[in-house]
Structure 1
Amino acid sequence: MTTQFTRRAMVGATAVLALTLAACGGGGDADDAATGGDSNELTVWHYFSEDNQVALMDAYAEKFSAEHEGVTVNNVFQPYDQMNSKVVSAAGAGQGPDVIVFNGAEWSTLAMAGALAPLDDHWADFEDADQFPDAVLHGMDGSTYAVQGYVNLLGLWYNADILEEIGVEPPTTMEELESAMAAAVEAGHRGITLSALPQSQGEWQAYPWLSSAGFDYENLDEAALAEGFGRVRGWIDEGYLSQEAVTWDQTVPFQQFTAGGVAFAENGNWQMGAAAADADFEYGVVPLPLDESGQVYLGGEGQAIGANAQNPDLAWEYLRSTYLDYDGQLLAQENVGSIPSRADASQEESVTADELLQPFAQTLNERGTNYPASVIPPEAVADVQAAVGQAWSAALAGQTDPEAAAAQVVGQLQGLIN
């Protein structure tokens, strides 16, 4: 299956949307908004830095303010790697935002720290609750603490101009991918970009390749894990992937891809707006060409009410009007390329007929898996992600050979999971 998209076909619509949202203002200053404001103010913490993601936050603020006269929404940026610590620290001081938008896989870290308010009463009265699958509701001890308004996942972006130059089709197997990367490098291009950061983003991007080698968190196969580490380390040795990947979060590799000169990028559906705005070449997406056991996380941001929200009822109204609303979910799809979590919104033609979203939808149906893996205890999620992310990064950096990295991290995982 091959899909191809041209920047020119989408950039007009994206430009109109960007101009519409520009008047809404950007994110606030974290130091200026540690808590919610008065009864007519709502503070929302997020970690988005991409223009299209920030524009979505502005669009939600505008939508909510238009529907709630006199209410001001303050969007406050927090760096991704500081979000959890700042949320927990604020909660410990009896402060914090009204709404938190965070890495959905880390809900347990925040909930166990007492930083999130239960959503149970609000959810019980929510008239559209039956539109949401259980997989996007996160909680423990009988309470729900976070919801995902959309699903994000990884695919293989490709530069169609480079593939045409080297005479290959978008790959459908691992062997085809490696052959195409070799041809691209021989022609003077780079092979692929991805993130090997030693934390949860690295683990997120590592898991498809590791599971493709036969690793999963239920079986903890050390040999399979070493094979997965070794394969991608081999891409660095062959010159397909820059060793600088160990310093890149998921934003930088895609910026490298859209700048041109790179055949492939392992990245997500949320990059559609960035591709339309920044890529001056024809591009497309196919599912990651994994082996039979390969799996792709179904991720996305979680949304929650802060434990010390100044306006908890207004915070719920914000969630209901934006992330959980039919039209609000389509705003995320149009601007960021996220797949709606509502059953009705996911069947909207703008989703089902989109040439770029279709490969992600195919992956969702064929290879999608829970994020984090359900076998991992909630209290161990952050430690598991950190351990695997660090091992992945060390193996790709050449600091540790793949076999030693696998042996070390499996020993850690056995204690954390069992």
Structure 2
Amino acid sequence: MKRKVGLTLLAAATSMTLALTACSGGSGTSGGGTDAGDEPKTLVIWDYENDESAMGQAWAKAVEIFKEEHPDVTVTEEAQSFEQIQKNAKIVLTGDSVPDVMEYNKGNATAGQLAAQGLIMPLTDAASEYGWDTKLAGSLATTAMYSEQGLMGSGDWYGVPNYGEFVGVYYNKTMFEEAGVEVPTTLAEFEDVMATFKDNGVTPLAEAGAEYPLGQLWYELVLANSERSFVDSYQLFANDVDFHGSQMTDGTTKLQEWIDAGYIDNKIAALTAEDMGVSFLNGKYPMMVSGSWWFGRLDTEMQDDWGMFLFPGNSLHPGSSGNLWVIPTNAKSPTLAKEFIDITLRPEVQNVFAEKGGLPVAGDTSAITDDQVKELTTNFQTILDSDGLAFYPDWPVPGYYDVLVSQLQSLANGNKDVTAVLDGLQDPYVSGKDDLLNG
């Protein structure tokens, strides 16, 4: 069936007067909806991906398989926008006109809130039945699980990811060849490569301080001195974080050294992610530390030969699973929804992700023929094999994205030193954590 594109969610939200009420997230049973034997022969799917994207094409394959296996079920796909779902989901999901399965963002402030308010079903039993808890172990499963407070990383399963994302180093092969340098495998070698470019009059790193990129580079440098226990403390509140301990201090100091050495342009404080990406595309800089989401654009727009490698020496990297499939508590066909979710993790669907430049969580890299797509997917698989996803630096508490951007801008333009920046990062983190745990 052709996807229905419109304002379904927004219209439903506008017409509803029912106030949102909070309730418990419940146990790990399927809960809500109708019994399997009484379910209607319909499946309503909401997502916000472009049909031409890797996600859109993979999910179209999943729908095709579902229809083949359920010829008596009417499948309706309704394309929403990310903004519509983010703004209106909590209101719409209190009513009866809800999808059976929907794409939703992961994290404490999004899926965690819906879970804590009882608006999406716990899926722990289904995760065990279908084997999702085996396929998506370790850091992949972290974004799928939420406590009764809605905190990510523990408690019941409430969503299922089927693709991933990560941060690595894109590099211009033409510029590397001209400079006579090789792909570095350690942080020291990485600094040697940057020094060579700088000595040749070329600033080595494309960067941006007005948005997320500088924060992700900072986090890479923090992770260079860290183990999983640090990530669990910083992201999941397993223990208190020492903002003046070795991980934060050494990483922030290293970033300051790179700025002082001219490895990063001193005018980056006002630059956006788009500015950074365009400058790398145009061959102004030989390297760019950023996410797998840039892959498709580089593949279509970059003229020079290019590639990607993992941040040298790190076993932990910024990244996570992709968005989640969740099932609203009021879904009319929860059993069919679980079957659809399971289909999205089958090899024939996961391999579509791989072939189209997405990042499958359960794919077969040997099925990929494109060299650059294979490089991207192999890098991601290397991270998964070592349980190396460390999430993103702005995730722990609400509003921390703006805090991180502001503090690192101050470092980049010389308004604050390392100690002052760490103080500025610590206070909002501590207060935000206290609000989440005790508010």
Asked if TM exceeds 0.5, the reply is yes
Q: Deviations over 1:227-266 (max 9, x none)?
A: 43343355455263474476635x7644543343321121
Instruction: Measure, in 1, the Cα distance between the counterparts of 2:88 and 2:56.
Output: 20
Corresponding residue to 1:338 among 359, 363, 368: 359
Q: Please report how far the alpha carbon of residue 160 of structure 1 lies from its aligned counterpart in structure 2 after TM superposition.
A: 0.6
Which residue of the partner structure matches residue 81 of structure 2?
77
Compared CA separation, residues 165 and 102, structure 1 to 2 (3 A): farther
When normalised by structure 2's length, the TM-score is 0.68
Compared CA separation, residues 242 and 277, structure 1 to 2 (3 A): farther
Q: What is the 5 A alignment of 1:237-316?
A: 238=262, 240-241=264-265, 243-244=267-268, 248-249=272-273, 253-290=276-313, 295-303=316-324, 304-309=326-331, 311-316=333-338
Q: Please report how far the alpha carbon of residue 175 of structure 1 lies from its aligned counterpart in structure 2 after TM superposition.
A: 3.8
Compared CA separation, residues 45 and 400, structure 1 to 2 (3 A): farther
Which amino acid letter does the alignment assign opposite residue 407 of structure 1? D
The answer (yes or no) to whether the contact 2:407–2:421 under 8 Å persists in 1 is: yes
Q: Please report how far the alpha carbon of residue 91 of structure 1 lies from its aligned counterpart in structure 2 after TM superposition.
A: 3.8
Which amino acid letter does the alignment assign opposite residue 309 of structure 2? V
Which amino acid letter does the alignment assign opposite residue 302 of structure 1? N
Compared CA separation, residues 236 and 318, structure 1 to 2 (3 A): farther
When normalised by structure 1's length, the TM-score is 0.71
Q: Deviations over 1:293-323 (max 9, x none)?
A: x63144121312234546544433332222x
Which residue of the partner structure matches residue 59 of structure 2?
60
The answer (yes or no) to whether the contact 1:196–1:392 under 8 Å persists in 2 is: yes
Q: Please report how far the alpha carbon of residue 363 of structure 1 lies from its aligned counterpart in structure 2 after TM superposition.
A: 4.1
Instruction: Measure, in 2, the Cα distance between the counterparts of 1:72 and 1:262.
Output: 46
Structure 1: gaps of 5 or more residues: 1-22
The answer (yes or no) to whether the contact 1:117–1:305 under 8 Å persists in 2 is: yes
Query: How many residues are paired up?
Result: 376
Instruction: Measure, in 1, the Cα distance between the counterparts of 2:415 and 2:92.
Output: 36
Corresponding residue to 1:153 among 154, 163, 166: 166
Structure 2: gaps of 5 or more residues: 13-39, 149-154, 435-439
Secondary structure, aligned partner of 1:123: helix
Which residue of the partner structure matches residue 8 of structure 1?
none
Q: Which has the higher contact order (CA 8 A, sep 6+)?
A: 1
Compared CA separation, residues 260 and 72, structure 1 to 2 (3 A): farther
Compared CA separation, residues 313 and 366, structure 1 to 2 (3 A): closer
Secondary structure, aligned partner of 1:169: coil
The answer (yes or no) to whether the contact 2:46–2:79 under 8 Å persists in 1 is: yes
Q: Please report how far the alpha carbon of residue 150 of structure 1 lies from its aligned counterpart in structure 2 after TM superposition.
A: 2.9
Compared CA separation, residues 266 and 32, structure 1 to 2 (3 A): same
Corresponding residue to 1:212 among 224, 239, 258: 224
Corresponding residue to 1:361 among 381, 384, 398: 381
The structure number with the bigger radius of gyration is 2
Task: Percent identity, please.
Answer: 19
Instruction: Measure, in 2, the Cα distance between the counterparts of 1:188 and 1:98.
Output: 57
The answer (yes or no) to whether the contact 2:365–2:378 under 8 Å persists in 1 is: no
Q: Please report how far the alpha carbon of residue 284 of structure 1 lies from its aligned counterpart in structure 2 after TM superposition.
A: 1.8
Q: Please report how far the alpha carbon of residue 171 of structure 1 lies from its aligned counterpart in structure 2 after TM superposition.
A: 2.2
Instruction: Measure, in 2, the Cα distance between the counterparts of 1:192 and 1:153.
Output: 18
The answer (yes or no) to whether the contact 2:243–2:423 under 8 Å persists in 1 is: no
The answer (yes or no) to whether the contact 1:35–1:95 under 8 Å persists in 2 is: no
The answer (yes or no) to whether the contact 1:208–1:296 under 8 Å persists in 2 is: yes
Which residue of the partner structure matches residue 27 of structure 2?
none
Q: Please report how far the alpha carbon of residue 77 of structure 1 lies from its aligned counterpart in structure 2 after TM superposition.
A: 2.6
